[in-house]
Each structure stands twice: as structure tokens, then as C-alpha cells.
Structure 1
Amino acid sequence: LTKEINPDIIVITGDLIDSRRTNKDNMNIATSYIKSAVDIAPVYYVSGNHESRSDLYEELKIIFEEYGVINMDNTHKNIQLNGVTISLLGLADICFNPINNYEHPNSPFSFDEILGNLKTESKNNFTILLSHRPELITLYAKENIDLVFSGHAHGGQIRLPFSGGIIAPNQGFFPKYTSGIHRLNSTSLVISRGLGNSLAPQRIFNRPELVVVTLSNE
């Protein structure tokens, strides 16, 4: 399906593995998709909370690098799409930092300062941020990020007609940010429901999805 879409770039916003289920015997589920994806388009990746809890993450990073995946954890990169310069920014998941104050254990900077520094590097370019957590939309809007891709909520796991998702990590019951496009000030947040499960072993009325976004300079 990804090959049929023929994207310019592929972005992955974390939780390619399940820290409770992924092991050396089955982590090829994640690596095989990545290996096929890099043959289609450049792949940009940031970590999620499951990577932060997995002993396999360091090994996976080496494999991804060998495949040509570009790890965007706490870094930025300018890319050219159809003659337009876009600043691609990435944030490592906050589980790599104490969650209460977002302080990075190996850095004097706070989580919002890391994003602020990345935004400064982007100058006046159109900015795309890869960040696992949709519930931090206020922080993204504060830095005037143009477009954010995130996941984490798994579509609310169980979806009810006209009500949306039932539960999501870090948002609790009846969460606001589980899928679709949300806007705050000049920031647009695109949330993927993803392909896997989270708090429960099944999804109900909650189809997995690959999100396709078309950018226009109109």
C-alpha cells in the first residue's frame, strides 16, 4: 500500500515496537517494514514511549541506521520538496525525560527549550515537527510550528459513533486528541491512529490507518 501511494517522504512518530511484547525473536516485524519503506522514499523517524522502555531500542537504532532511516530525535534537517525548503524537526519522546517537568536528564535544557532551539534553527522555513505526543499541542502551537505529525493515542482504542475514542495514554477517558486534524492558532496537528494496539489487545470500530498528507503552497 505504501508503494502505491508513492510518497515524497515517509514519517514515523514512534512506537514501532511494543515494550511488553517485542523481543529478539519477533522484532523483525518492525524491521521488515522499515526495510521495505526505505526503498520507497526517505524515512524520518522519532521515538515513542515504548522505545524508551525497551532494551532493544539501541539495537534497533543501529539496524535502522544501516537501512538508511534518518533518526530525528531532538534534531532538525532541511529538506527540499518540489523546490521548497522545509525544516523537518524531531523530538525524542518525553519518556526519555522525567515526565513531570520535561527535563532532559543529560541536558541543561527543558523539553520546551529543546523545541524552541529546533524552531530557531528552522529560521523562516515552513516547519514540520515529528513528535509522538498529540496532547502537547499547546507546546507546539506556542512555538508556531506549522504542521505536526504524532500518534500515541491509538485512535482511542475503542471508538463510539459520534463520540470518538474511549481512552488514550496520558489523556485518560474520552480523550480529545486521538485521530484526524486539529488546529490551534497557526499550528495543524495530524494524528495517526496507527497500525497496532496499546492498552488492550484489540481495536473496536477503530481501523488501523496509514495517513497520507498532501502539502500545497496555495
Structure 2
Amino acid sequence: MRAKQKQGRDGGLRRPAALALMLLLCLGAYLACGIWVSYFYPQVRTFQVQAEGLEAGVRLAVLSDLHDRRFGGDNAELVRLVEGQSPDLILLAGDILNGYSQGPDTLLELAEALTETAPVYFAWGNHELDYLAAGTSDLTAELSALGVTVLEESFVDLTVNGAELRLGGLYGYAFAMDDYNTCSPANMDPDTYAFLTRFQATGRYKIMVSHRPDSFIFGAASTTWDVDLVVSGHDHGGQVVLPFLGGLYGGDQGFFPTYIHGIYEKDGLTLAITSGLGTQKERLPRFADPPEIMVLDLIPA
């Protein structure tokens, strides 16, 4: 009789242990899957933007934050996915390489291949600026030789499908680094202030590729500058995406940022923020955050 009672107690102990082990295995599988998908399963996500004043539809493909990653030889998988979307323009929104990269091969191979699909425009991220400061190579000349247009505090006027666009690029903050992040000309960087003043002086639909969404969401920027659409990356969709909570971290926005991925409206300004394609090795791994090619369909409003 005692032996049977002991076996019953042992069986009772084994069941919670087996359940705990099963839960740990399920958690491990969930974490492994979340990381694997975030590194090896690029997705195309399409968003519609109501574009007031636009006379015809325009499709944009946006790539950001590759950080020297490769999806297939010479990034053939990315090129194939972009080509399949038949974009009118391709926007590279910065951090395609790393500031410490030994050379620009990954970036140049991708950019050259993309030019066969549509015109390519490149706006610097912080890593391109670090790369240029290190003097590793002259990215502007190298990209220009491939037919890529580099936009850094500069813009071009385009007519696409009959739609008149002004497309610009700006890495810096669109406000002054004073106590209130004002847009006072006395406090702002004079070159940035002059560029934004010139940029907004048009009746065309105005698109600014600005690597950091932070450049336009803080202070008086969104209420001061007449920009229709800001296209950004930088924050990697929050890097780690938690159930019900969203992206964990977003640059200047800190933890659990508001402007992290997708389409947002702020004071009449539309922001399109991609979670990008990669990350730096020294950062937290991406989790539940698939690499993204963002496609923007600009719809005449």
C-alpha cells in the first residue's frame, strides 16, 4: 500500500516538471522562430497614402537599414522582390552599409541592380555619414557613376505618370537644438534652414527622404515646414517587437516609441516609416520584426 502511494506522489511531481519542460521548449521555439524570421524572411508590405494635390498615382519602393546584409548572392532576392512590385521610383533611405564597412561593394551591387528596375534615389543615413567621415571611399561619386541620384540637403523635381513631384533628402534635424526644438532661423543650422525654405517653395507634391523620423516629429518641425510626405527608417521597427506592446526602442523616441513603423499623420504631415532590412551585429537581435521592403502607393486624394 505504501509503495503505491509513493508512486502516486512521484507521478504527481513528474507532471508539473513535464509541463514546465514543454513550456520552455515552446518558448525556445517561439524565440528561435521570431529571430529567424527577422533575419532570413524578407517581406513586401504595401501601404496606401492619400496624396492631396497629386494628379496621378505613383508607386515607391523604399529600402532602408540593410547594414551590409545580403539576401541571396548580390542581394538577388531583394532585387527580385522589388522588381516584382513594378515601382516608379526606388528610394534608399540610408544605413545600407555600416560606418565601419571596409568597402561599399554590397551597397553598390544592390544599387546597380536596382537601377535596371526604376530610377534610384539615395538619402544618407548616419552610417553613410560615418563611412564618408572615415574616408573609406567617395560614395557620392561611386553611386553617381551607377546612375543613382544622391540627395543630401538637395532635391530634384520629377514628373512621374503625369504627377509632379519634388523629392528631397535630409539627414539633419528639421528644427533647432534649443530648449524647445523651435524652427527659429536664428537658432537652426543656417544651411538646413535655407534648404527647407527652398524645398517647400513649390506647388508640387513634396516628398522628403529623412533617415530618422525624429528629424520631423519633434518640436515645431511638423507645424513649420510644408512637406507632404516624410519617408524614414532608422529605428528598425523597434528592433524587438513584443506582443501587444509593439517595438521596444526607437532612437530619440526612447522605449516603446509612437512613430516606429507604418503610416502616421502629424499636424498635416504624413510619415511613412519602414522597419528596414537588417541591424548591426553589436545590437540586440531583431525579433518578431521581419526584414521589410516598404511599397508606398501614392493615391490622388
Is residue 95 of structure 2 the alignment partner of residue 11 of structure 1?
no
Q: 1:149 is aligned with what amino acid?
A: V
- Per chain length, whose mean CA-contact separation is higher, i.e. which structure has more relative contact order (CA < 8 Å, sep 6+)? 2
Is residue 107 of structure 2 the alignment partner of residue 30 of structure 1?
yes
Q: Residue in 2 aligned with 1:59? A: 138
Per the alignment, do residues 61 and 40 of structure 1 end up closer, same or farther by CA in structure 2, a change over 3 Å counting?
same
Q: 2:113 is aligned with what amino acid?
A: S
C-alpha deviation, 1:17, in angstroms: 1.1
Q: Residue in 1 aligned with 2:232? A: 150
Question: Please, which runs of 5 or more residues in structure 1 have no aligned partner?
Answer: none
Separation (CA, whole Å) in 2 of partners of 1:157 and 1:37: 26
Separation (CA, whole Å) in 1 of partners of 2:260 and 2:137: 28
TM-score, normalising length: structure 1: 0.86
Contact kept, 8 Å, 2:172 with 2:215, in 1: the verdict is: no
Q: Residue in 2 aligned with 1:187? A: 269
The CA deviation string for residues 177-216 of structure 1, in whole angstroms up to 9 with x for no partner, is 2211110122110001111114615200111100001111
The CA deviation string for residues 62-87 of structure 1, in whole angstroms up to 9 with x for no partner, is 21111000011111111111112111
Contact kept, 8 Å, 2:239 with 2:287, in 1: the verdict is: yes
Contact kept, 8 Å, 1:76 with 1:89, in 2: the verdict is: yes
Across the aligned residues of Structure 1 and Structure 2, the Cα RMSD in angstroms comes to: 2.5
Contact kept, 8 Å, 1:23 with 1:56, in 2: the verdict is: no
Q: Residue in 1 aligned with 2:211? A: 132
Q: Residue in 1 aligned with 2:279? A: 197
Separation (CA, whole Å) in 2 of partners of 1:131 and 1:5: 23
Q: Residue in 1 aligned with 2:155? A: 76
Separation (CA, whole Å) in 2 of partners of 1:57 and 1:126: 36
Question: Please, which runs of 5 or more residues in structure 2 have no aligned partner?
Answer: 1-80, 182-187
Identify which of 160, 168, 191 aligns with 1:89. Answer: 168
Separation (CA, whole Å) in 2 of partners of 1:66 and 1:202: 35
Q: 1:36 is aligned with what amino acid?
A: A
Contact kept, 8 Å, 1:51 with 1:57, in 2: the verdict is: no
Q: Residue in 1 aligned with 2:244? A: 162
Q: Residue in 1 aligned with 2:51? A: none
Separation (CA, whole Å) in 1 of partners of 2:116 and 2:136: 22
Provide the aligned length of Structure 1 versus Structure 2: 207
C-alpha deviation, 1:156, in angstroms: 0.8
Contact kept, 8 Å, 1:180 with 1:192, in 2: the verdict is: yes
Per the alignment, do residues 147 and 44 of structure 1 end up closer, same or farther by CA in structure 2, a change over 3 Å counting?
same
